[in-house]
Structure 1
Amino acid sequence: MSGNDFNGNIPSSLGNMSSLLSLDISNNNLSGEIPEQLVISCFFLRELILSNNNLQGQIFSNNFGLTELQSLQLDDNHFRGKIPESLLNCSILQVLHLYDNNLSGKIPRWFGNLSYLVDIVMFNNQLEGLLPKELCQCQNLEILDLSENNIFGSLLPCLSLSNIRQVHLSRNRLRGQLKDALYINSTTLEVLDLSYNHLEGKIPNWIGKLSSLSYLTLSNNNLEGELPTQLCNLGKLRLIDLSQNNFYGKIPSCLNFTALYKGNENDESLIYELPLFVVVEVIEVMTRGAEESIQFTTKTISYSYKAKMLTFMSGIDLSCNKLFGEIPHQIGNLTRIHTLNLSHNNLTGSIPKTF
């Protein structure tokens, strides 16, 4: 019943449908709270999608019977309070979308007990505290998005989870050095967004081992040092944003080995490879609906690219650093970039003829 013009409260009589497997009433104008009768009586419910409404209040009470839940999508509402501990009873939960709400409190340590979790998407809330080390126990995790919260402390050294595809931790208060706090040796990671934090130190050499990395944004931190040539090992790299840091040295001349160069043989099918929508084949009706986005600034205006549009966006932003020397002529051969920003550095020489 999604995508209609229903308003008012969710009828508590839905709780009488004790054999219901899937309920999708997203994209309406529903208000009020989630009926307790629904939460108590629909024992077999595997998919509950209430996204894009005007629902409010606490998410669930302690009276909870949805133990078979595999996908919970409550994003874009007005839910408040802490993430309910009753979710601990959802031992086979795979998809958890709570983004665009008013949730507060810490990220629960008991998330580590939900070993089947594939998606944790909770950006744009008021969550705070440290990243719990128990997240490292979620070995099936593919997407972790905790952007736009008040998370502080250091990164987790376990984000090298074997299946991880996207890590979004931008616009928090994370600190520490990348080389000590985070070691990733992943062949599946495609998006790494740690922008708008307080990270320090150099870009570690392990960055070159992320063979599937397509989008790297580390802007607006306190990173320093030279840009590592290991970036040139990333044959699928489409977008790199290292702006607003303290990087110095010369711009690597070998970036033409990335997907930004038209002649790169690895790039022919890139436009189809980034799995923004990954199907969970648990029950027939279950699909994943989160559209993970990347923000990229062009001429002081920040744009958000998501879903299919993200695959069409590519560029380099090294602005507002301390880079010096001449612009490598190889940069002019990167014919796949849509935007290039090298402003506010100490570059010298002329614009290469290859441009």
Structure 2
Amino acid sequence: MTSLRLLDISRNRFAGNISSYVIASPTSLEYIDLSYNKFEGLFQFNVFANHSKLKAILLASENNKLEIETEKSVGWDFLFQLKILMPSNCNLNKLTGNIPEFLLDKRELEIIDLSHNKLKGNFPIWLIENNTRLRELNLRDNSFMGKFHLPPDRYKCLLSMDVSNNRLGGQLQENIGKINPYLEYLNLSRNHFEGDPLSSIGDMSRLRSLDLSFNSFSGKVPTELIASCTLLYVLKLCNNQFTGFEHFEWSQIWFLDISNNKLSGIIPIWTGNMTYLETLVVSNNSFEDIMDLSKNSISGTIPHCFHNMSFENILDSDFTYEDYRSKFVPIQVGSTIQRPLELNSGSDSISVEYGQHVEVEFVTKYRSDSYSGGILKYMSGLDLSCNKLTSRIPPEIGELSSIHALNLSYNQLIGSIPQTFSNLALLESLDLSHNNLSGEIPPKLIDLNFMEVFTVAYNNLSGRTPNMKAQFGTFGRSSYEGNPFLCGQPLESCTREDESHRSPTNL
């Protein structure tokens, strides 16, 4: 095995000390991937000192019991010039929290993932300055602090940058978009950034995913922010202090989260133009008129435009870009090496899977669940509960045939339950409780075979309850209570005399 160039034992259950695997490996190696195993204990990075041909080292830990020490390698001369370095979640330099000093001499890095290591110090701007071909930089979940100022030069190769969950603060550079015009993924969430959002981000015309959530950004979101970002699929602005929006043409957006801000006034009409929308989260704001999610102090009617939105299931192919970044980045390491365990003569690249899932929390069936990444394809729903919505329920809601959950509870809705609700064939949870609905419960609702939760309690409904068949045989009195004119199982039995007396017109 003296000519072995690629070693990939990732995603297994190997345990013990990782050093023995490296020591036994030939110095001809160009690519080594030991990620996602059960390794633990201390690993001295100087074991790689004689591997002069190494171009890729992947050591991501699964159990957080592995410790990698690089600073005790002083005096060792690392002969390799890496293209890929990914020691994620490895307690890197646990005692000092220092970023590896040997990286100061590296000039050819294209992918750097130092995430989940609790590294300290100022933002390492020199990683970008020294490696002009850098494509992906992931410093997520560390303790870097200070200002997030990037080098003034334009970086044409940088596609993805994640500095989320650090202690970076202050205002963003005014020309941040001009410095990084080719970024596809930018995550600045869970830091201490403040001030108005900058229109310069709109200069990132290839941006696919932008996450500014959990900061202290304030003011109105300017049109210029994403005016030219025609490829933007994911936008997360939640948990800031934004006060308003201007008009946008966001027809391509798939995921939009603007919850937990200080948004007020009338919801802009562009929400009805997002025909590809899969997830919309706008709760906990202060809208005054038409709104489309829970826990706002709003009034008005339910928008008829909801049936124009796509609540279709997300396909696996839609998650080729996990979090809508480039999932695979080609790295040239030789004339025949490609993805680990996928060798083809004629290919000259290694591809590395690298991405994060979008995550959203949704309340259904009386519990709150989190959905992320590809699992989102199994969940779609609409929650308009706890508002002051009035008027009738638009029958167009019944055209959302792919939703799994519908919650219109705790509003002031009137009129009858639309017959079109029987078209919601995949519906698992329907909550219409605590409104002013009247008339009969559509008998065809018993055809909804996936229903697990159903309640129309505390309305003004009348007539017979649906037959106790299929799923409706599982619903008890609590699903119908608070409707004095309803009768039939599981409530009191109906008679002709009862039904005539139970009509609201006779009382």
Shorter-normalised TM-score: what interval?
A: 0.7 to 0.9
Counterpart for residue 114 of structure 1? 155
Shift in alpha-carbon separation, 1:63–1:139, aligned structure 2, 3 A: closer
Shift in alpha-carbon separation, 1:230–1:309, aligned structure 2, 3 A: same
Residue 188 of structure 1: how far off its partner (Å): 0.9
TM-score by structure 2 length?
A: 0.62
Shift in alpha-carbon separation, 1:9–1:316, aligned structure 2, 3 A: same
Shift in alpha-carbon separation, 1:162–1:25, aligned structure 2, 3 A: same
2:119 partner SS: strand
1:188 partner SS: coil
Counterpart for residue 3 of structure 1? 36
Q: Tell me if the contact between 1:17 and 1:42 (Cα under 8 Å) persists in the aligned partners.
A: yes
Counterpart for residue 303 of structure 2? 252
Counterpart for residue 346 of structure 2? none
Shift in alpha-carbon separation, 1:186–1:324, aligned structure 2, 3 A: farther
2:271 partner SS: helix
- Corresponding position: 1:34 with 2:34: no
| 1:164-243 correspondence to structure 2 within 5 Å | 164-179=207-222, 182-201=225-244, 203-206=245-248, 209-243=249-283
- Corresponding position: 1:309 with 2:375: yes
User: Which residue of 5, 8, 12 maps to 2:46?
Assistant: 12
Counterpart for residue 17 of structure 2? none
Q: Deviations over 1:278-332 (max 9, x none)?
A: 2112333331422132222316966443331134333334556665544433223
- Asked which structure has the greater CA Rg, the reply is 2
| 1:1-355 correspondence to structure 2 within 5 Å | 1-4=34-37, 5-27=39-61, 29-35=65-71, 41-55=78-92, 56=94, 57-61=97-101, 64-87=104-127, 88-110=129-151, 113-136=154-177, 137-160=179-202, 161-179=204-222, 182-201=225-244, 203-206=245-248, 209-250=249-290, 251-260=302-311, 270-274=315-319, 275-276=321-322, 278-283=327-332, 284-298=349-363, 303-318=369-384, 324-342=390-408, 347-350=412-415, 352-353=417-418, 354-355=420-421
Task: Tell me how many residue pairs correspond in the alignment.
Answer: 345
Residue 336 of structure 1: how far off its partner (Å): 2.2
* Range that drifts further, 33-42 or 107-116: 33-42
Q: Tell me if the contact between 2:185 and 2:209 (Cα under 8 Å) persists in the aligned partners.
A: yes
Amino acid of the structure 2 residue aligned with 1:255: F
* Range that drifts further, 145-154 or 58-67: 58-67
Amino acid of the structure 2 residue aligned with 1:3: Y
1:86 partner SS: helix
Q: Deviations over 1:91-148 (max 9, x none)?
A: 1111111112222222123276433211111222222121223420211111111111
Residue 244 of structure 1: how far off its partner (Å): 0.7
Q: Tell me if the contact between 2:382 and 2:405 (Cα under 8 Å) persists in the aligned partners.
A: yes
Residue 38 of structure 1: how far off its partner (Å): 10
Amino acid of the structure 2 residue aligned with 1:131: L
Q: Tell me if the contact between 1:68 and 1:90 (Cα under 8 Å) persists in the aligned partners.
A: yes
Structure-2 separation of matches of 1:17 and 1:186: 43
Structure-2 separation of matches of 1:116 and 1:308: 28
Comparing both chains, which one has the higher relative contact order based on Cα–Cα distances under 8 Å and sequence gaps of 6 or more?
Answer: 1
